[in-house]
Amino acid sequence: MALNRLVAGNWKMHGLSSDLGEIKKIARESRQYPEVEVALCLPASLIERAARAVPGFPIGAQDVHQAEDGACTGCISAPMLRDAGASLVIVGHSERREAQCESNAEVRAKAEAALSYGLGVILCVGESAEIRDAGQAVETVAAQLDLSLPPQVDDPARLAIAYEPIWAIGTGKVPTPAEIEDMHAALRQRLDVAYGEAGGSVRILYGGSVKPSNASEIFAVPHVDGALVGGASLRAADLIPIVAAAAAVEGAPIIA
Protein backbone atom coordinates (compact mmCIF):
# COMPACT_ATOMS: atom_id res chain seq x y z
CA MET A 1 0.00 0.00 0.00
CA ALA A 2 1.38 3.39 -0.94
CA LEU A 3 1.42 5.97 1.82
CA ASN A 4 0.66 9.56 0.95
CA ARG A 5 2.80 12.49 1.90
CA LEU A 6 1.73 14.15 5.14
CA VAL A 7 1.61 17.93 5.59
CA ALA A 8 0.73 18.82 9.17
CA GLY A 9 0.25 22.34 10.48
CA ASN A 10 1.42 23.19 13.98
CA TRP A 11 -0.56 26.22 15.14
CA LYS A 12 1.41 26.46 18.42
CA MET A 13 -0.21 29.03 20.77
CA HIS A 14 -2.33 30.62 18.05
CA GLY A 15 -6.02 30.28 17.36
CA LEU A 16 -9.35 31.60 18.67
CA SER A 17 -12.92 30.87 17.66
CA SER A 18 -12.59 33.67 15.12
CA ASP A 19 -10.08 31.44 13.28
CA LEU A 20 -12.56 28.60 12.67
CA GLY A 21 -13.34 30.10 9.26
CA GLU A 22 -9.66 29.79 8.27
CA ILE A 23 -9.61 26.18 9.49
CA LYS A 24 -12.68 25.45 7.35
CA LYS A 25 -10.98 27.08 4.38
CA ILE A 26 -7.84 24.96 4.85
CA ALA A 27 -9.94 21.77 5.11
CA ARG A 28 -11.99 22.68 2.05
CA GLU A 29 -9.05 23.66 -0.16
CA SER A 30 -7.02 20.59 0.93
CA ARG A 31 -9.65 18.39 -0.70
CA GLN A 32 -8.26 19.45 -4.08
CA TYR A 33 -5.19 17.35 -3.24
CA PRO A 34 -6.44 13.91 -2.17
CA GLU A 35 -2.95 12.47 -2.73
CA VAL A 36 -1.66 14.47 0.27
CA GLU A 37 -2.73 13.87 3.86
CA VAL A 38 -3.27 17.26 5.51
CA ALA A 39 -3.81 17.80 9.25
CA LEU A 40 -3.89 20.73 11.67
CA CYS A 41 -2.51 20.44 15.22
CA LEU A 42 -4.34 23.10 17.20
CA PRO A 43 -4.31 24.49 20.72
CA ALA A 44 -6.34 22.20 23.01
CA SER A 45 -8.98 24.89 23.48
CA LEU A 46 -9.95 24.76 19.79
CA ILE A 47 -9.81 21.01 19.11
CA GLU A 48 -13.42 20.11 19.78
CA ARG A 49 -14.92 23.07 17.94
CA ALA A 50 -12.58 22.55 14.97
CA ALA A 51 -13.31 18.81 14.83
CA ARG A 52 -17.04 19.61 14.70
CA ALA A 53 -16.54 22.34 12.11
CA VAL A 54 -14.56 20.16 9.67
CA PRO A 55 -15.84 16.58 10.00
CA GLY A 56 -13.50 14.07 8.42
CA PHE A 57 -10.53 16.46 8.35
CA PRO A 58 -7.77 15.38 10.77
CA ILE A 59 -7.47 17.69 13.78
CA GLY A 60 -4.59 17.09 16.18
CA ALA A 61 -3.12 18.29 19.47
CA GLN A 62 0.38 19.54 20.27
CA ASP A 63 1.10 17.52 23.41
CA VAL A 64 -0.38 14.71 25.48
CA HIS A 65 0.21 13.32 28.96
CA GLN A 66 1.39 9.73 29.15
CA ALA A 67 -1.10 8.70 31.86
CA GLU A 68 -4.73 7.89 31.19
CA ASP A 69 -5.99 10.10 34.02
CA GLY A 70 -4.89 11.24 37.45
CA ALA A 71 -3.66 14.11 39.60
CA CYS A 72 -1.90 16.05 36.82
CA THR A 73 -3.15 19.62 36.93
CA GLY A 74 -3.31 21.26 33.53
CA CYS A 75 -2.51 18.11 31.53
CA ILE A 76 -4.60 16.33 28.91
CA SER A 77 -4.57 12.56 28.30
CA ALA A 78 -4.86 10.59 25.06
CA PRO A 79 -8.43 9.40 25.75
CA MET A 80 -9.41 13.03 26.45
CA LEU A 81 -7.95 14.12 23.12
CA ARG A 82 -9.84 11.32 21.35
CA ASP A 83 -12.99 12.35 23.19
CA ALA A 84 -12.55 15.94 21.98
CA GLY A 85 -12.27 14.75 18.37
CA ALA A 86 -8.49 14.72 17.84
CA SER A 87 -7.00 12.00 15.66
CA LEU A 88 -3.31 12.79 16.07
CA VAL A 89 -0.84 14.55 18.35
CA ILE A 90 2.64 16.09 18.16
CA VAL A 91 5.06 14.84 20.85
CA GLY A 92 8.55 16.02 21.72
CA HIS A 93 8.46 19.36 19.92
CA SER A 94 11.71 21.20 20.71
CA GLU A 95 9.76 24.10 22.24
CA ARG A 96 8.41 21.62 24.81
CA ARG A 97 11.65 19.68 25.18
CA GLU A 98 13.33 23.02 26.04
CA ALA A 99 10.73 25.05 27.93
CA GLN A 100 9.04 22.11 29.70
CA CYS A 101 12.27 20.12 30.10
CA GLU A 102 10.76 17.05 28.43
CA SER A 103 13.19 14.13 28.32
CA ASN A 104 13.49 11.49 25.61
CA ALA A 105 11.99 8.96 28.03
CA GLU A 106 8.95 11.18 28.58
CA VAL A 107 8.53 11.73 24.85
CA ARG A 108 8.67 7.97 24.31
CA ALA A 109 6.02 7.41 27.01
CA LYS A 110 3.77 10.06 25.47
CA ALA A 111 4.13 8.50 22.02
CA GLU A 112 3.34 5.04 23.39
CA ALA A 113 0.27 6.29 25.25
CA ALA A 114 -1.05 8.20 22.23
CA LEU A 115 -0.56 5.24 19.86
CA SER A 116 -2.20 2.84 22.30
CA TYR A 117 -5.33 5.04 22.31
CA GLY A 118 -5.47 5.06 18.53
CA LEU A 119 -4.03 8.53 17.92
CA GLY A 120 -1.54 9.21 15.16
CA VAL A 121 1.78 10.58 16.46
CA ILE A 122 4.24 13.08 15.04
CA LEU A 123 7.41 12.64 17.08
CA CYS A 124 9.86 15.55 16.77
CA VAL A 125 13.64 15.43 16.92
CA GLY A 126 16.26 18.01 15.96
CA GLU A 127 19.60 19.56 16.83
CA SER A 128 20.66 22.98 18.09
CA ALA A 129 22.88 25.34 16.08
CA GLU A 130 25.83 24.50 18.36
CA ILE A 131 25.52 20.78 17.66
CA ARG A 132 25.21 21.43 13.91
CA ASP A 133 28.27 23.72 13.97
CA ALA A 134 30.23 21.08 15.89
CA GLY A 135 29.53 18.60 13.07
CA GLN A 136 27.54 16.30 15.38
CA ALA A 137 24.03 16.80 14.04
CA VAL A 138 23.43 13.36 12.55
CA GLU A 139 24.69 11.27 15.45
CA THR A 140 22.98 13.52 18.01
CA VAL A 141 19.58 13.41 16.32
CA ALA A 142 19.85 9.67 15.58
CA ALA A 143 20.55 9.02 19.27
CA GLN A 144 17.64 11.27 20.26
CA LEU A 145 15.39 9.25 17.95
CA ASP A 146 16.59 5.91 19.35
CA LEU A 147 15.75 7.07 22.89
CA SER A 148 12.39 8.65 21.99
CA LEU A 149 10.91 5.93 19.79
CA PRO A 150 8.24 3.67 21.25
CA PRO A 151 9.72 0.15 21.49
CA GLN A 152 7.11 -1.28 19.15
CA VAL A 153 4.38 -0.02 16.86
CA ASP A 154 1.36 -2.03 15.76
CA ASP A 155 0.46 0.31 12.92
CA PRO A 156 3.63 2.09 11.71
CA ALA A 157 1.63 4.26 9.32
CA ARG A 158 0.23 6.08 12.39
CA LEU A 159 3.71 7.15 13.50
CA ALA A 160 5.62 9.94 11.75
CA ILE A 161 8.97 11.45 12.70
CA ALA A 162 9.51 15.18 12.22
CA TYR A 163 13.12 16.26 11.78
CA GLU A 164 13.13 19.87 12.94
CA PRO A 165 16.51 21.57 13.36
CA ILE A 166 15.95 23.97 16.28
CA TRP A 167 17.86 26.71 14.49
CA ALA A 168 15.51 26.48 11.50
CA ILE A 169 12.25 26.86 13.46
CA GLY A 170 10.68 30.27 12.89
CA THR A 171 13.97 31.75 11.68
CA GLY A 172 13.66 31.53 7.88
CA LYS A 173 16.87 29.46 7.85
CA VAL A 174 16.69 26.02 6.24
CA PRO A 175 19.33 23.28 5.94
CA THR A 176 20.63 22.54 2.45
CA PRO A 177 18.90 19.73 0.53
CA ALA A 178 22.05 17.61 1.08
CA GLU A 179 21.91 18.19 4.85
CA ILE A 180 18.22 17.23 4.93
CA GLU A 181 18.87 14.14 2.82
CA ASP A 182 21.77 12.99 5.05
CA MET A 183 19.67 13.38 8.19
CA HIS A 184 16.55 11.73 6.78
CA ALA A 185 18.59 8.81 5.41
CA ALA A 186 20.14 8.29 8.86
CA LEU A 187 16.71 8.43 10.53
CA ARG A 188 15.28 6.00 7.96
CA GLN A 189 18.09 3.60 8.83
CA ARG A 190 17.41 3.94 12.59
CA LEU A 191 13.72 3.18 11.95
CA ASP A 192 14.70 0.05 10.04
CA VAL A 193 16.88 -1.05 12.96
CA ALA A 194 14.08 -0.32 15.47
CA TYR A 195 11.14 -1.85 13.63
CA GLY A 196 12.53 -3.98 10.79
CA GLU A 197 10.42 -3.95 7.66
CA ALA A 198 7.61 -2.06 9.42
CA GLY A 199 10.01 0.89 9.89
CA GLY A 200 9.60 1.53 6.17
CA SER A 201 6.02 2.68 6.80
CA VAL A 202 6.97 5.39 9.30
CA ARG A 203 6.98 8.69 7.46
CA ILE A 204 9.79 11.19 8.03
CA LEU A 205 8.69 14.83 7.79
CA TYR A 206 10.91 17.87 7.57
CA GLY A 207 10.02 20.90 9.71
CA GLY A 208 11.56 24.34 10.18
CA SER A 209 10.70 27.39 8.08
CA VAL A 210 8.84 25.46 5.37
CA LYS A 211 7.21 28.07 3.13
CA PRO A 212 5.45 28.14 -0.23
CA SER A 213 8.75 29.43 -1.70
CA ASN A 214 10.92 26.49 -0.57
CA ALA A 215 8.42 23.62 -0.30
CA SER A 216 9.02 22.14 -3.79
CA GLU A 217 12.76 21.97 -3.23
CA ILE A 218 12.29 20.33 0.19
CA PHE A 219 9.74 17.75 -1.01
CA ALA A 220 12.07 16.76 -3.85
CA VAL A 221 14.74 15.63 -1.34
CA PRO A 222 14.94 11.81 -1.05
CA HIS A 223 13.44 10.42 2.19
CA VAL A 224 11.29 13.53 2.79
CA ASP A 225 7.77 12.13 3.23
CA GLY A 226 6.04 15.37 4.19
CA ALA A 227 6.37 18.48 6.35
CA LEU A 228 5.51 19.86 9.75
CA VAL A 229 4.69 23.52 9.17
CA GLY A 230 4.46 26.22 11.85
CA GLY A 231 4.04 29.85 10.84
CA ALA A 232 3.00 29.09 7.26
CA SER A 233 0.15 26.82 8.44
CA LEU A 234 -1.93 29.60 9.98
CA ARG A 235 -3.45 30.75 6.71
CA ALA A 236 -4.84 28.77 3.81
CA ALA A 237 -3.08 31.19 1.45
CA ASP A 238 0.30 29.93 2.71
CA LEU A 239 -0.48 26.31 3.60
CA ILE A 240 -2.35 25.27 0.46
CA PRO A 241 0.56 26.10 -1.90
CA ILE A 242 2.73 23.88 0.35
CA VAL A 243 0.16 21.06 0.03
CA ALA A 244 0.12 21.63 -3.74
CA ALA A 245 3.93 21.34 -3.80
CA ALA A 246 3.69 18.00 -1.93
CA ALA A 247 1.10 16.80 -4.45
CA ALA A 248 3.32 17.76 -7.38
CA VAL A 249 6.28 15.56 -6.33
CA GLU A 250 6.53 12.41 -8.45
CA GLY A 251 5.61 9.07 -6.93
CA ALA A 252 4.45 7.94 -3.51
CA PRO A 253 6.81 8.72 -0.64
CA ILE A 254 7.11 5.21 0.74
CA ILE A 255 5.52 1.85 0.18
CA ALA A 256 4.10 0.04 3.17
CB atoms within 10 A of CB 3: 20
The angle formed by the CA atoms of residues 219, 15 and 42, to the nearest 5 degrees, is 55
Query: Which residues between 4 and 43 bind ligand PGA (CB under 6 A)?
Result: 10
Least Å distance between CB 5 and ligand PGA?
16
Q: Where are the beta strands (DSSP E) in 92-248?
A: 120-125, 159-163, 203-207, 226-229
CB closer to ligand PGA out of 199 and 231: 231
Please give the residues from 130 up to 169 whose contact with ligand PGA meets the rule CB under 6 A.
Answer: 164, 169
CA-CA-CA-CA torsion for 240, 32, 22, 241, nearest 10 degrees?
10
Closest distance to ligand PGA from the beta carbon of 95 (Å): 7
DSSP E strands in the chain: the ranges are 2-3, 5-10, 36-41, 59-61, 88-91, 120-125, 159-163, 203-207, 226-229, 254-255
Residues binding ligand PGA: what is the number (CB under 6 A)? 13
Whether 164 is catalytic: yes
Report the alpha-carbon distance of residue 159 to residue 47 in Å, rounded. Answer: 20
Give the nearest distance from C-beta 131 to ligand PGA in angstroms: 17
Q: Is 65 a catalytic residue?
A: no
Minimal distance, residue 137 CB to ligand PGA, in Å: 17
In the range 162-201, which residues lie near ligand PGA by CB under 6 A? Answer: 164, 169-170
Of 172 and 196, CB closest to ligand PGA: 172
Q: Which of 102, 106, 112, 164 is catalytic?
A: 164
Which residue among 65, 93, 184, 223 is the active-site one? 93
Q: Using CA atoms, how far apart are residues 52 and 58, in angstroms rounded to an integer?
A: 11
Nearest residue to ligand PGA on Cβ basis: 230
Residues in region 193-252 near ligand PGA by CB under 6 A: 207-210, 228-232
Q: Considering the complex, state which of residue 115 and residue 162 has its C-beta at the smaller distance from ligand PGA.
A: 162
Q: Taking the complex as a whole, how short is the minimal distance between the CB of residue 158 and ligand PGA, in angstroms?
A: 19
CB closer to ligand PGA, 198 vs 227? 227
Q: Alpha helices, DSSP H only, in 1-99?
A: 20-30, 44-53, 78-84, 94-99
Q: How far is CA 142 from CA 32, 127, 132, 189, 194, in A?
A: 36, 10, 13, 9, 12
In the complex, minimum distance from the CB of residue 242 to ligand PGA, in angstroms, rounded to a whole number:
10
**Taking Cα atoms as reference points, which of 243, 249, 236, 251 lies closest to residue 32?**
243
Strand pairing report for 2-3 and 254-255: antiparallel
Q: Give the residue with the Cβ less far from ligand PGA, 231 or 253.
A: 231
3-state secondary structure of 78: helix
Residue placing its CB nearer to ligand PGA in the complex, 41 or 249: 41
Give the catalytic positions in this structure.
93, 164
Q: Which residues form the interface with ligand PGA (CB under 6 A)?
A: 10, 164, 169-170, 207-210, 228-232
